[in-house]
Structure 1
Amino acid sequence: MEMKACNFVLFSCLVVVSFLVSSSSAQTCLSQTFPNNMQYANCTDLPVLNSYLHWTYNQSDGTVEIAFRRTNSTSSQWSAWGINPSGPRMVGTQALVALVNSSGVAQAFTTSIDSFAPSMQQTDLSFPVPSLSATFDNNEITIFAVLIIPQNLTSTSQVWQEGEVSNGQIQPHSTSGDNVQSTASINFLTGQ
């Protein structure tokens, strides 16, 4: 009888520990912090690709400060987030892209997605991006940016993506699963 009671207690302890470990590893945007105590007025847990968007919109000058974070990333992957005024699709997206370069440093650049086989080379966007940087730490890549958007882009579509980097070159992302479901609407003004 003592052995059964001991096994039950051990099993109960394992269940509780397992629950605590799984709950603590589940992230939400509300639990995320940033360097230098940076804070954002709004955030959203994006539904796929372990991604989160944080932002603060300043209506007086049309700036949006954003932090796009993707967890469970590796140094051999690229990540991107962008807005698409023409709808929830890849072509037309004004994108911010980040990757870890051959020196092991995270870098970010802008690119306009103009086809289903984009060059993914640095290009200007249809709106100014006066500040852009990226970090890679603890298998999380984060893109920090300031966008100056026109009034008609305060409510728009957002697109985010991930893919592999091989020999310093961005490879096409998967065309199935979560990679084709990574779109949502966003309203910078209302925070939705």
Structure 2
Amino acid sequence: MEGPGPGQDTVPTSAEPSDTIKLLHLVFLSTSWGMQIWVTFVAGFVMGSHLPRHTYGFIQRKLFPYYFHLSSACAFLNLTLFAMYHPSELLSDEQTTQIIVFFVCVAASVLNTQWFGQVTSAIVADMHLVERGHGLGQEVGLLPSKSCRQLRASNPSYGQLARRLALYHALSSLCNLCCIACNGLSLYYLAAHLAAL
């Protein structure tokens, strides 16, 4: 069979991914989303409600880098696998939206991994040093104690750390919620295109 002649363009075709590729895509997507739901809505609240604040902060500083890196890796692999089997020339509006959703998830994950998450952990560590110097940190609960609020009012540098923590924690949480929403939309897209359960 002859190839296209001079001046003729080849028409891109969308190859059907193998079952292995489909499985990998499903594993990366479901792993990421399940991990995000667990860490955000279950583990965080349970640990924060039952552990001393400094213990909870220490666990978060050790756990979150792994969480953020794994989320970023899954987001990147999902985008890559989807893009490989959906050439840009053949994308439907729905598939274009799905590519954008994956890209937003990658961007939010990388921001959390490389910036917001790291800064938040560093600020928490600095705050814990100040609190230990004042005999604080063993109280249990997600909200700052009365003693911490008093320290914030009386110690300008600690108050500044608390304000920076509020800002970076909000940005990190926003990125995390964005990733949860993106992965939820991607799972919905996947479910809508299943031939059968």
Q: Do the structures match in fold with TM over 0.5?
A: no
TM-score, length of structure 2 as denominator length: 0.27
Larger Rg: 2
Relative CO higher for 1 or 2, CA cutoff 8 Å, sep ≥ 6?
Answer: 2
Larger strand share, 1 or 2: 1
Q: Provide the TM-score with structure 1 as the length reference.
A: 0.27
Q: Which has the higher helix share?
A: 2
